[in-house]
Structure 1
Amino acid sequence: MKNPISIDAIASVSPLGSAAEEIWNNYLQNSHHFSRITAAEGSWWAGKLPEQLDRQLAELQQEDSRYRHLDRSVLMAILTGRKLKEQTGYTNSNSGLNIGSSRGATELFEKYHKEFTETGKASTYSSPTTTLGNISSWTAQDLQLEGPEFSHSITCSTGMHSILNAIAWLESGMRDHFIAGGSEAPLTGFTLAQMEAMKIYAQNNDEYPCKSLDMEKEKNSMILSEAAGLVSLSKNTSVSSQAVIHGIGYANEELKHGASLSREGFCLQKSMKMAIKDTSEEIDGIVMHAPGTIGGDVAEVNAVKHVFGENHPAITSNKWKTGHSFATSGILNIQMAVLMLQHQEFITVPFSRFQKKPTQLKNILVNSVGFGGNAVSLLISAN
């Protein structure tokens, strides 16, 4: 990176809530935020938004008739944008916006496709409300941003790729301020059934149904969740910055199949090395992607050991608590890192053998990886 990038503000809506204090307090508790949902296709564990956030989404649709036909992923992005705007550090309408999504308007797409197969007719709203770009375009409209605004998709690392893209815009000088993140509403019968068909979804009913970073687990335990997260970024760091991005890394690896990731996590090795190459300071902790699958967790831990050795930094994950929100998962990882830096407390996974806690928290590496063997790593530092 040419220069550090300021994280001016960060906002999210997730199973952990939306207010920073609420989210932090939930991180301090050794309990998950999953519930069972049932559809015609089956029953699954899932990470749903709290009831108060559901009510706020309903209020959005009531206050503006244009919002009545929008997908849940779009409504969550709009709500998160408003929460970002409430924070100090975001007042700039001359801002770019990139909100990515792995699945996009899943709920509406499934609804309209079902109507089409049953009636042979497509709804007037089916095309404009299911395009990926409407996540960013409607959020930009609501925030009255001048843009540019766009969306992209690169599987589970989409949110972190949005951050990379925003940094490129900032370093090019084409924008001084950018908002980047992800929004995902994947709790539909078809999407959940897809994950189940891959045999990676959690089936157990014990105290912790998602076993992220439990290296002794014998079954896959990924759980999907809905969430949206946005990060306000600028070129000028100041005392008001919540944290600073000091390094970026990205990589991919050769595919064996569409969901492949090498056992040694080669793409993660490369992205982490790239993110830390310009720093001489110690890395105090790593927020792992760690989806709760056997292969995914092993690959990432192996990658960490290849880069840092057996005496590696403290590692943690939040997916045992929040679930996997696809594109938004990387943004929730960034938020977790920022909160740990602010509170100077490292949150470990209660059932994992990785219980190391650093004596200080100054530099935290954040990882994200997705189907297709692509990885992103960011070095987040205290302001």
Structure 2
Amino acid sequence: MIRHHHERDDVVVSGIGAISAAGSGVAVNWERVCSGVPTSAVDPRMPDLPAPLSCRVPDFDPVAVLGAPEVRRTDRTTQLAVVAAREAVADAGLDPAAWDGARVGIVMGTSSGGATSYEAEYFRYAEDGPEWISPLFGITAPMGLLAGYLSIVLGAYGPNMVVTTACAAGPTAIGTGRQLLRSGLCDVVLAGGSEAPLTKMSLGSLYQMGAMSTRLHDPAGASRPFDADRDGMVPAEGAAVLVLERAADCRARGARARALVAGYGASADGYHLSAPDPDGTGIERAVTMALDDADLRPSDIGHVNAHGSSTPLNDLTEGRTISRIYGTPVVTSTKGVVGHALGAAGALEAVYSVLALEEGLVPPTANLERLDPELDIDVVTGEARKVPLDAVMTHSFGFGGQNAVVAFARP
């Protein structure tokens, strides 16, 4: 039974938008994720890398979305975010031409920001000299311009910020947006994440770290969370945005509340810059915080959308921690289908968690053929599973020991 201590502070999700390697739009994303068909492939733009695997957004034409002049002024990270934000606003039944923009805030998460712009201008500088650097570089590459551009496009003039808690950035943005609403500073907040990290420097660095899969003989099977034969992540791009409102405001305008943002928790491992604390104590602190915030028991969580990055250490630590905290929730990692979109991953997974809660349907973990024998968790495989759900939790963890989790419940 979901219990609310202060119902006047309840914040709900009234709109969702997504674009990923599964495609553009929530409907196509959900269909692909529930099918369990992976998107990982050899990246033709990275022929000189030793492990050129990625999950790219298919058939994305930024000129069709923004027009040629605006494409020159924006990084791909921003372009993807515009697609997701516009869909989320429309899904919420909101009209930027009619809303009070001063009461609309934006909180976006990202890990690498304008990586595509940084790399392009670096090589231009190295090959042609400083006089050839684009004068637009200062507005395409900086992370803060991601939220700034959305404010221009959508007429959102309230608090505007980017959070950069590595791969935990999506839930961090949602938790921050919820606080903006509870504080009274905003009436609507667009919260989410966007990432376009598929550059030679980024992928090359991940390979050198040993974080990337090298499963070149089976590219589609490279991202395999919790599988005994996992050997690393597959980098991805994408964006997702959730429209957050106070529950009372959503009801007053006759809109649909898709989910209650019931609880939020965040912590730092304080252990290592790239490896998780093997005891999972940081994860447990974040989860406990979210449960307390939501006034939920661990057994109330019927489904966990796991971080499940397909890396050996993360999956082992997370899986053991899930067993210790919750007991036997139904677990999935959608990264088996769409890869690891870094700072956008948690935002995408928040969207998938809302849909799982709405439909009572948990997507399968793609490529999971043999569960790591050191784990004892109920991971969905093969096909999506119907499960009655009242509350779900989504996990996101990042380099630097960043942990952020969000509990969603039926409104």
2:364 paired residue number? 348
Identity of aligned residues (%): 21
Are positions 1:108 and 2:117 aligned together? yes
1:24 paired residue number? 30
Contact map agreement 2:74 2:139 (CA 8 A) in 1? no
1:208 paired residue number? 221
Residue aligned with 2:139, SS: coil
What residue identity is the alignment partner of 2:306?
Answer: M
Question: Of 163, 168, 174, which aligns to 1:157?
Answer: 168
Contact map agreement 2:63 2:71 (CA 8 A) in 1? no
CA–CA separation in structure 1 for the residues paired with 2:66 and 2:92: 26
Once the two structures are TM-superposed, the CA of residue 61 in structure 1 deviates from its matched residue by 4.4
CA–CA separation in structure 1 for the residues paired with 2:93 and 2:76: 27
Once the two structures are TM-superposed, the CA of residue 113 in structure 1 deviates from its matched residue by 1.2
2:277 paired residue number? 262
Are positions 1:364 and 2:368 aligned together? no
2:55 paired residue number? 47
Contact map agreement 1:61 1:68 (CA 8 A) in 2? no
What residue identity is the alignment partner of 1:247?
Answer: G
CA–CA separation in structure 1 for the residues paired with 2:177 and 2:117: 28
Residue aligned with 1:156, SS: helix
Residue aligned with 1:128, SS: helix
2:312 paired residue number? 294
Equivalent residue runs for 1:209-248 within 5 Å: 209-214=222-227, 216-217=228-229, 219-236=230-247, 238=251, 240-248=256-264
Once the two structures are TM-superposed, the CA of residue 355 in structure 1 deviates from its matched residue by 4.0
CA–CA separation in structure 2 for the residues paired with 1:273 and 1:235: 24
Residue aligned with 2:166, SS: coil
Equivalent residue runs for 1:71-110 within 5 Å: 71-91=75-95, 92=99, 93=101, 94-110=103-119
Residues 96-141 of structure 1: per-residue CA shift (max 9 Å, x gap): 0111210010011111111112233132122222111111111111
Structure 1's 360 and 61: CA in aligned 2 closer, same or farther, altered over 3 A?
Answer: closer
Residue aligned with 1:86, SS: helix
Residue aligned with 2:265, SS: strand
CA–CA separation in structure 2 for the residues paired with 1:152 and 1:20: 23
2:19 paired residue number? 13
What residue identity is the alignment partner of 2:261?
Answer: I
CA–CA separation in structure 2 for the residues paired with 1:90 and 1:267: 38
Equivalent residue runs for 1:287-326 within 5 Å: 287-308=305-326, 311-326=327-342
CA–CA separation in structure 2 for the residues paired with 1:335 and 1:212: 19
C-alpha root-mean-square deviation of aligned residues, in Å? 1.9
2:128 paired residue number? 119
CA–CA separation in structure 2 for the residues paired with 1:349 and 1:146: 40
CA–CA separation in structure 2 for the residues paired with 1:116 and 1:21: 42
Contact map agreement 2:12 2:245 (CA 8 A) in 1? yes
CA–CA separation in structure 2 for the residues paired with 1:8 and 1:28: 22
CA–CA separation in structure 1 for the residues paired with 2:211 and 2:401: 17
Residue aligned with 2:345, SS: helix
CA–CA separation in structure 1 for the residues paired with 2:24 and 2:75: 20
CA–CA separation in structure 1 for the residues paired with 2:15 and 2:224: 31
CA–CA separation in structure 1 for the residues paired with 2:112 and 2:409: 31
Contact map agreement 1:8 1:90 (CA 8 A) in 2? no
Question: Of 142, 165, 190, which aligns to 1:131?
Answer: 142
Residue aligned with 2:123, SS: helix
Residue aligned with 1:22, SS: helix
Residues 146-204 of structure 1: per-residue CA shift (max 9 Å, x gap): 22222121110111111111111111111121111111001111111011011111111
Residues 76-115 of structure 1: per-residue CA shift (max 9 Å, x gap): 1122222222213433433001112100100111111111
CA–CA separation in structure 2 for the residues paired with 1:312 and 1:264: 19
TM-score, with structure 1 as normaliser: 0.92
Question: Of 190, 193, 199, which aligns to 1:179?
Answer: 190
CA–CA separation in structure 1 for the residues paired with 2:109 and 2:306: 20
> Could you tell which deviates more after superposition, 359-368 or 40-49?
40-49
Contact map agreement 2:212 2:234 (CA 8 A) in 1? yes
Q: Number of residues paired by the alignment?
A: 374
1:194 paired residue number? 205
Once the two structures are TM-superposed, the CA of residue 40 in structure 1 deviates from its matched residue by 5.3
Residue aligned with 1:225, SS: coil
What residue identity is the alignment partner of 1:259?
Answer: S
Once the two structures are TM-superposed, the CA of residue 248 in structure 1 deviates from its matched residue by 1.1
Structure 1's 247 and 208: CA in aligned 2 closer, same or farther, altered over 3 A?
Answer: same
CA–CA separation in structure 1 for the residues paired with 2:316 and 2:34: 25
Once the two structures are TM-superposed, the CA of residue 68 in structure 1 deviates from its matched residue by 2.1
> Could you tell which deviates more after superposition, 23-32 or 297-306?
23-32
Once the two structures are TM-superposed, the CA of residue 211 in structure 1 deviates from its matched residue by 1.3
Structure 1 unaligned blocks of 5 or more: none
Contact map agreement 1:136 1:149 (CA 8 A) in 2? yes
Contact map agreement 1:264 1:300 (CA 8 A) in 2? no
